[in-house]
Chain A
Amino acid sequence: MRTLHVSSARFVLLIIGVVICFAGVLGKLWWLHVKDAPKLRDEATQQRRVFNEYPASRGQILDARGALLATTREVWDVGVDAHELSEADCLRADEIAKVLHLDLGVVTRSFEKRYLPPLEEGAPPRRIKWVKLADSQDAVVAQQIRDLKIRGVYPLRRYVRYYPKGQLAAHLVGFVNREGVATSGVERAMDWFLQGQRGSLESQRDGRQRELAHLRSRKIEPRNGDNVELTIDSVLQEICEQVMEEEIARKYNPESAAIIISEPATGKILALANWPTFNLNEYNDPRKAPMEAQRNRAVTDVYEPGSVFKIIPISMGLNERLVTPNSVFDCGATKVPYRGRLLGLPKDDHPIGEADVRKIVAKSSNRGSALIAMKVTEARGEQTFYDYAYRFGFGRPTGLITGQESRGTLHRPEQWDGLTITRMPMGHAVDCTPLQMHFAMATIANGGRLMEPMLVNRVIGADGNTLLQYEPKVREQAVRPETAAQLVEMLRGVCMPGGTAAGANIPGFEVAGKTGTSQKIIDGRYSSRFHVPSFSGFFPASNPQYVISVIVNKPEMPNGRIGYGGTVCVPVFRQLAEKIIHQFGLRPLPGQAGQAI
């Protein structure tokens, strides 16, 4: 027999109580282990997760000689995490202020910034993790801050783009904006190579924030961007920009202007200067670098090329073997029959009467070029004229790597009105970008081959190896080499005494080229006051090395004179040519020194 020494009711109550406690613990365990586990497990994953990104250093942009046009600098932003500050460190604000050259008040106030007001009523205040004290500090300041050894005050590294040469080739190089997005120029076009690959680390960490290497799931080292070498020669580019500023901008205060220098045989752009321009390091200052100044007008803006365009109808006539350099046209006629109609011809500023093709080119006769074009189109059809213009690169983008190009306007014959056939040969009723016109001229200099403009020479890896070599690319054989040679000969004549660009000639260097002056269309009419003078030329004619185009939009001429290509652009061309010759030590061709002029 068993005797319980206590009240059995109380004993049973104790047992029930203890059993309930056990059941409670077991139930809660089940809840934690199974029922509520997914939510809590997320918490664990989140607090253990490590995802670090390591920025890659952006590649450099170099000119053809290896000079730096764009590079990346390390800067340090110094800030404070007020939650991490210890009591003792709060009293050391003056040391921080001294290193960063800040007011003590700025620093002490940043120490108080711990929470932002909640977004909605009742929500907990938002924790501020970082208050910036100073940005873009150099490595020395960063080290000084680290040496203070104040927990919670530390520098963060950031890469910023820096353009050592400022405004040099600004429109071609382009820039990377504050968000790190490459917005324009080569920066944008070659972004894929330049940006590199940012590294990342995906892993888990322990409670002391240390990474648990055996649980690392992914680690990618950052790969720095590749360097891009341009065809631009910064010496030439500097000459261009200097001449642009001194000889064009200051003298004529034009709305815009462009100078392009390229190598005809390869299509390499050696220099390209626009006015107005800007400093790449100040791209985000709207006063110093307004949006209009940031446009690469040489490819975005169109103008009527004027007389320079005459090389198209004339080379067409020669190429179609319908005219020879000696063919004579009556440039005195005001009206000529064309396909059964009588068409009025444009006026010549200096009437030349009957003239052969050489003279038409040399004197830049509007009527002569119209007559030549009409002769060809009468025989071959209007489409031929369109085709030749198209072959020379008009009406389509040149394929410059920076993009953002205008294609210009080249009307198809169906869209022509009755007078187009007489006006288009003199470069009206057609418009193009300076670069299109430049490359049309380069085609003549290059034996009739239209090249694609080359801006990037090669891509160089971080280790110095060439990753990608760009090769010159022929877009089209626009005219036969013989035709081109004939035309070169005629363009030589332009730069000879009696030609419209006699002033361009440099003895011994066989300068050839063509002037142009087009009237600006203001309010739908050709203005007699505003002009776009231009000149495209190359030298030496027997083996062209440099093609140079100078286009000035709306020069302000003294005394209300007209800004002709011959008066505005030819002197600029000559200066450029002389500086190039001087700079590169080019020698005059044997036996020709002192000839002519």
Chain B
Amino acid sequence: MSERHLQPVRASRFWVPASFLMLFAFALTGFGILILSSAGAKAPSASSGPLHIMYAQLKYLPIALVAGLVAFRVDLERLRRWVWWIFGAVCVLLALVRVPGIGKSVKGSWRWIDLGFFNLQVSDLAKVALVLALSHYLANQQRVLRRVYFQWIDWSPKFPWLLRGKKTFPWVEPTTMAGWDFVQGFLFPALIIGTVCGLIAIEPDLGTMALCAAVSGVLLFVSGVRLSYLIPAGLAAVGVFSWVVYNWPNRLNRVLSFLDPEGTKSKEGYQLWQGMVAFACGGTTGEGLGQGLQQRYFLPEAHTDFIFSIVGEELGFVATAGVVACFFGMFLVVLFNLPKAHNLYQFNVCLGATLFIVLQALINMGVVTGLLPTKGMSLPFISYGGTNLVMMFVMLGLILNCLSIWARPPELRTEGA
């Protein structure tokens, strides 16, 4: 510790990773706008001309930049005092979104609050709130999480008849601390996650819910929640999720169609199959920008969830691999900087924000390539949609915020004061 204090502060510590991250993010955003000029041409909402979608996305860019800047400049440590207020407010909003008149329903899902100039997708706010709240709580409970819950107890003095002359007998028993640990070390964070996920699930928006659950699960895992809690809980969550899907009318077929897109190509697997055909048409170098045919009413949601297929068709494996490389690059940059984290809170905020970008990208790419069940999820930075773009820049802002903190020497102050 003391050595770090003596080192001069070097600008490169922040600007090198930050410029890499921003390079990737802006490359993806610019590329997204470029591809929207073609992929959005035949979108159902492209009311005024083929470039309508592209201009619409361009209009969101300044908003996204401002939001990102706010997330970058905010004092993360001071924010910890407001974490629960923020979390509570977001939960209230998530509940309100189901109220007709406040919330807005599209295709039977209540996800948006119409702010007049902007349709706010509340679940996106919930992502930020979830990351902050969970990080804050896990950081505070770090001691509890790492506790030794079980100990060897010598029962022989109490029950000598049991041992028949043997001196000692090893026995495992939970300590009195263990129960307390279970509540604070697992049940409470699970409750935080459960509240958010549950509220998102009833919108319904199972895709976002699964993403939130996955990111939170990773945070819990990395932060050190005992596997003996985490694994059964995870299995139970998967079980409940499966049960819900199984009993949801028509949803099981849709979810399972990804296993056989060719066999179900005229029914549930249609969209996925058309997406896969788009990749194939692209080949290595693609058909050329604007030359793709799959977005011409073959592939639904070509400009949103399945935009990656259009990238593949028009610009080929070179471009899709490039997109994958950009996301992987962002992940790597964060990865190299995570060990510099000053505390677990910042560590978790940074990791959570990164995962919300990278995991979402991975899930989207997994879905459109047929590795995962088809679920509506946009590709970060690229897919059309204002909230998506704004949220991704907010996440980027949080990451950069952390990196900028870590570039400075840690402030000397008492933990939790």
Residue contact A1 to B321, C-beta cutoff 8 Å: no
- Cβ–Cβ < 8 Å partners of A2 in chain B: 339-340
Asked whether A342 is an interface residue with its Cβ less than 8 Å from the other chain, the reply is no
Residue contact B362 to A10, C-beta cutoff 8 Å: no
What 0/1 readout, one digit per residue, does chain A (476-495) give for beta carbons within 8 Å of chain B?
00000000000000000000
Residue contact A33 to B316, C-beta cutoff 8 Å: yes
Asked whether B67 is an interface residue with its Cβ less than 8 Å from the other chain, the reply is no
User: Would A212 and B283 be within 8 Å (CB), given that A21-B366, A32-B276 are in contact?
Assistant: no
- Cβ–Cβ < 8 Å partners of A595 in chain B: none
* A7 CA / B312 CA spacing, docked (Å): 39
- Cβ–Cβ < 8 Å partners of A6 in chain B: 222-224, 344, 347
What 0/1 readout, one digit per residue, does chain B (281-298) give for beta carbons within 8 Å of chain A?
111100000000110111
- Cβ–Cβ < 8 Å partners of A255 in chain B: none
Asked whether A48 is an interface residue with its Cβ less than 8 Å from the other chain, the reply is yes
Residue contact A22 to B328, C-beta cutoff 8 Å: yes
Residue contact A14 to B316, C-beta cutoff 8 Å: no
Please give me the residue from chain B that is nearest to A45 by CB atom: B281
Asked whether B299 is an interface residue with its Cβ less than 8 Å from the other chain, the reply is yes
Most chain B beta-carbon contacts within 10 A, residue among A1, A7, A25: A25
Please give me the residue from chain B that is nearest to A11 by CB atom: B222
Please give me the residue from chain B that is nearest to A3 by CB atom: B339
Residue contact A36 to B297, C-beta cutoff 8 Å: no
Residue contact A34 to B223, C-beta cutoff 8 Å: no
What 0/1 readout, one digit per residue, does chain A (409-450) give for beta carbons within 8 Å of chain B?
000000000000000000000000000000000000000000
Partner of A26, one of B277, B324, B340, B343: B324
Return A46 CB to nearest CB of chain B, in Å: 10
What 0/1 readout, one digit per residue, does chain B (362-373) give for beta carbons within 8 Å of chain A?
100110011100
Partner of B320, one of A1, A7, A33: A33
Residue contact B293 to A212, C-beta cutoff 8 Å: yes
* A47 CA / B297 CA spacing, docked (Å): 12
* A40 CA / B223 CA spacing, docked (Å): 44
* A447 CA / B277 CA spacing, docked (Å): 79
Please give me the residue from chain B that is nearest to A33 by CB atom: B317
Partner of B280, one of A11, A41, A47, A207: A41
Asked whether A15 is an interface residue with its Cβ less than 8 Å from the other chain, the reply is yes
* A15 CA / B339 CA spacing, docked (Å): 13
- Cβ–Cβ < 8 Å partners of A10 in chain B: 221-222, 224
Asked whether A5 is an interface residue with its Cβ less than 8 Å from the other chain, the reply is yes
Asked whether A18 is an interface residue with its Cβ less than 8 Å from the other chain, the reply is yes
* A10 CA / B146 CA spacing, docked (Å): 13
Residue contact B277 to A44, C-beta cutoff 8 Å: yes
Partner of B370, one of A14, A15, A28, A206: A28
Residue contact B339 to A208, C-beta cutoff 8 Å: no
Residue contact B344 to A29, C-beta cutoff 8 Å: no
Partner of B276, one of A25, A30, A40: A40
Asked whether A37 is an interface residue with its Cβ less than 8 Å from the other chain, the reply is yes
Residue contact B317 to A29, C-beta cutoff 8 Å: yes
Asked whether A279 is an interface residue with its Cβ less than 8 Å from the other chain, the reply is no
Asked whether A24 is an interface residue with its Cβ less than 8 Å from the other chain, the reply is yes
Partner of B3, one of A1, A25, A30: A1
Please give me the residue from chain A that is nearest to B364 by CB atom: A25
Asked whether B14 is an interface residue with its Cβ less than 8 Å from the other chain, the reply is no
Please give me the residue from chain A that is nearest to B146 by CB atom: A7
Asked whether A43 is an interface residue with its Cβ less than 8 Å from the other chain, the reply is yes
* A571 CA / B224 CA spacing, docked (Å): 122
Partner of B343, one of A5, A43, A212: A5
* A44 CA / B299 CA spacing, docked (Å): 12
Return A212 CB to nearest CB of chain B, in Å: 7
Residue contact B296 to A18, C-beta cutoff 8 Å: no
Please give me the residue from chain B that is nearest to A24 by CB atom: B371
What 0/1 readout, one digit per residue, does chain A (337-365) give for beta carbons within 8 Å of chain B?
00000000000000000000000000000
* A41 CA / B365 CA spacing, docked (Å): 20
Return A114 CB to nearest CB of chain B, in Å: 13
User: Would A44 and B344 be within 8 Å (CB), given that A21-B366, A32-B276, A204-B293 are in contact?
Assistant: no
User: Would A206 and B328 be within 8 Å (CB), given that A3-B339, A40-B277 are in contact?
Assistant: no
Residue contact A47 to B284, C-beta cutoff 8 Å: no
* A516 CA / B188 CA spacing, docked (Å): 122
Q: How many residues of chain B are within 8 Å of chain A by beta carbon? A: 50
Partner of A25, one of B297, B343, B365: B365
* A40 CA / B320 CA spacing, docked (Å): 18
Partner of B298, one of A36, A38, A39, A206: A206
- Cβ–Cβ < 8 Å partners of B335 in chain A: 15
- Cβ–Cβ < 8 Å partners of B142 in chain A: 5
Residue contact A207 to B297, C-beta cutoff 8 Å: yes
Please give me the residue from chain A that is nearest to B337 by CB atom: A2
Return B120 CB to nearest CB of chain A, in Å: 30
Please give me the residue from chain B that is nearest to A209 by CB atom: B297
User: Would A29 and B362 be within 8 Å (CB), given that A5-B347, A36-B280, A40-B276 are in contact?
Assistant: no
* A36 CA / B317 CA spacing, docked (Å): 13
User: Would A32 and B280 be within 8 Å (CB), given that A6-B223, A6-B224 are in contact?
Assistant: yes
Please give me the residue from chain A that is nearest to B223 by CB atom: A6
Please give me the residue from chain A that is nearest to B366 by CB atom: A25
Please give me the residue from chain A that is nearest to B218 by CB atom: A14
User: Would A1 and B1 be within 8 Å (CB), given that A22-B324, A34-B317 are in contact?
Assistant: yes
- Cβ–Cβ < 8 Å partners of B365 in chain A: 25, 29
Residue contact B296 to A207, C-beta cutoff 8 Å: yes
Residue contact B369 to A32, C-beta cutoff 8 Å: yes
Asked whether A4 is an interface residue with its Cβ less than 8 Å from the other chain, the reply is yes
Return B177 CB to nearest CB of chain A, in Å: 20
- Cβ–Cβ < 8 Å partners of A36 in chain B: 280
- Cβ–Cβ < 8 Å partners of A7 in chain B: 222, 224
- Cβ–Cβ < 8 Å partners of B273 in chain A: 43
* A305 CA / B331 CA spacing, docked (Å): 105
Return A296 CB to nearest CB of chain B, in Å: 53
Residue contact B366 to A24, C-beta cutoff 8 Å: yes
- Cβ–Cβ < 8 Å partners of A208 in chain B: 296-297
Return A210 CB to nearest CB of chain B, in Å: 8
Interface residues of B in 205-257 (CB under 8 A from A): 218, 221-224
User: Would A32 and B312 be within 8 Å (CB), given that A44-B277, A206-B297 are in contact?
Assistant: yes
* A215 CA / B291 CA spacing, docked (Å): 11
Return B339 CB to nearest CB of chain A, in Å: 4
* A2 CA / B294 CA spacing, docked (Å): 50
Partner of B312, one of A14, A33, A204, A212: A33
Residue contact B221 to A14, C-beta cutoff 8 Å: yes
Asked whether B166 is an interface residue with its Cβ less than 8 Å from the other chain, the reply is no
Please give me the residue from chain A that is nearest to B299 by CB atom: A207
Interface residues of B in 33-73 (CB under 8 A from A): 42
- Cβ–Cβ < 8 Å partners of A32 in chain B: 276, 279-280, 312, 369-370
Partner of B362, one of A22, A33, A215: A22
* A4 CA / B222 CA spacing, docked (Å): 11
Which 7 pairs from chain A and chain B are nearest by CB?
A207-B297, A40-B280, A206-B296, A207-B298, A32-B279, A33-B317, A37-B280
Known: A22-B331, A25-B369, A41-B277. 9 other contacts (CB 8 A): A1-B1, A5-B142, A5-B343, A15-B335, A18-B331, A21-B366, A29-B279, A33-B312, A37-B280
- Sample of 20 A–B contacts (CB below 8 Å): A1-B3, A5-B343, A14-B218, A22-B324, A24-B371, A29-B317, A29-B321, A29-B324, A30-B317, A32-B279, A32-B280, A32-B312, A33-B284, A36-B280, A38-B280, A41-B277, A43-B273, A44-B293, A47-B298, A48-B293
